[in-house]
Amino acid sequence: MEQQFPLLPRHLAIIMDGNGRWAQARGLARVDGHRAGAEAVRTVVTECRRLGIPHLTLYAFSSENWNRPKAEVAALFGLLLDFLGVEVPRMEREDIRLMVLGDVDGLPLAQRTALRHGMSRTAHCRSMTLNLALNYGGRAEIVRAARRMAEAGIAPDGYTEERFADFLYTEGQPDPDLLVRTSGEQRLSNYLLYQCAYSEFYFTPVAWPDFGVEALHEALRVYAGRSRRFGKTQEQIDGR
């Protein structure tokens, strides 16, 4: 099956959108959609690990998502705890490293503790990195990086693009090759603004809870057929 994908992204980033609409279309509560979405996360992580995609980043909670009803926010964080309880031991077994992109200190205590525990338990894992973007905002990340660089005493001429990237949450990881957003919306919603400068974008109408192995494969097939030029001409790339 792997031959299906002559070119896999080294880093796949996903905006997991549409849980609420998925639930509403079924006469269910939004939280039921989030529960189904958590199942989709398990499926996609497992398949990415099997295929050998080394970096996977999932947008789980944006800094703007605090504006949602209190009960929905609480339900999302409850699901996160359940997820970590089951998945961290499995990630350890499967050699998957857990990382958080975002302001962990701004999360509730139980979630903060479980995330820190998960990150330390899997710190040695190397087969894949699973980044959960939680309490994450792209602009805040850029401002934070600038502030951290200044605090590190770096002189203005030391502010290079590469150096700057070392102060982002994604330090040491490649930029996303492919950005997927589910459920029809075509916007970034403050996601990985610095890192997505040259990412390929793929939008699908499929709602996140329905995004399974088939939908993932379709996104990867489309990606493999894209022509990335990075400013060059196609002739240069083909060596003609």
* Total interface residues for Mg ion by CB under 5 A: 1
Quote the least distance from Cβ 204 to Mg ion, whole Å. Answer: 14
The residue within the footprint of ligand IPE, chosen from 5, 43, 54, 65 (CB under 6 A), is 65
Which region among 9-17, 122-130, 144-152, 157-165 touches Mg ion (by CB under 5 A)? 9-17
DSSP string, 114-141: HHHHHHHHTTT--SEEEEEEEEE-HHHH
Task: Show the site string, 197-236: x = touches ligand IPE by CB under 6 A, - = not.
Answer: -----------x----------------------------
Which residues in 67-106 contact ligand IPE (CB under 6 A)?
Answer: 76
The residue within the footprint of ligand IPE, chosen from 8, 9, 11, 19 (CB under 6 A), is 19
Which residues in 29-58 contact ligand IPE (CB under 6 A)?
Answer: none
Which segments of 105-212 does DSSP mark as H helices, in order?
109-121, 138-151, 161-165
Nearer to Mg ion, 136 or 167 (CB): 136
**Active-site residue 17, yes or no?**
yes
Q: Is 185 in the site for ligand IPE (CB under 6 A)?
A: yes
Residue 124 marked in a binding site: no
Element containing residue 178 per DSSP (H, E):
strand 178-181
DSSP string, 28-48: --HHHHHHHHHHHHHHHHHHH
Do the beta carbons of residue 30 and residue 21 sit within 8 Å? no
**Active-site residue 67, yes or no?**
no
The residue within the footprint of ligand IPE, chosen from 40, 48, 55, 59 (CB under 6 A), is 59
Q: Is 62 helix (H, G, I), strand (E, B) or coil?
A: strand
Do the beta carbons of residue 15 and residue 186 sit within 8 Å? no
Buried/exposed code over 19-45 (b: 16+ C-beta within 10 A; e: otherwise): bbbbbeeeeeebbbbbbbbbebbeebb
Residue 14 interacting entry, from ligand IPE, Mg ion, none, C-beta within 5 to 8 Å by type: none
Residue 120 marked in a binding site: no
List all residues 6 or more positions away from 150 whose beta carbon is below 8 Å from its beta carbon. none
Nearer to ligand IPE, 3 or 186 (CB): 186
Q: Tell me the C-alpha to C-alpha distance, in Å, between residue 239 and each of 228, 230, 236.
A: 14, 15, 5
Rg (CA), the chain: 18
Which residues in 10-39 contact Mg ion (CB under 5 A)?
Answer: 17
Please identify every residue annotated as catalytic: 17, 65
Interface residues with ligand IPE (CB under 6 A)? Answer: 15-21, 59-62, 65, 76, 183, 185, 187, 189, 208
Binding site for Mg ion (CB under 5 A): 17
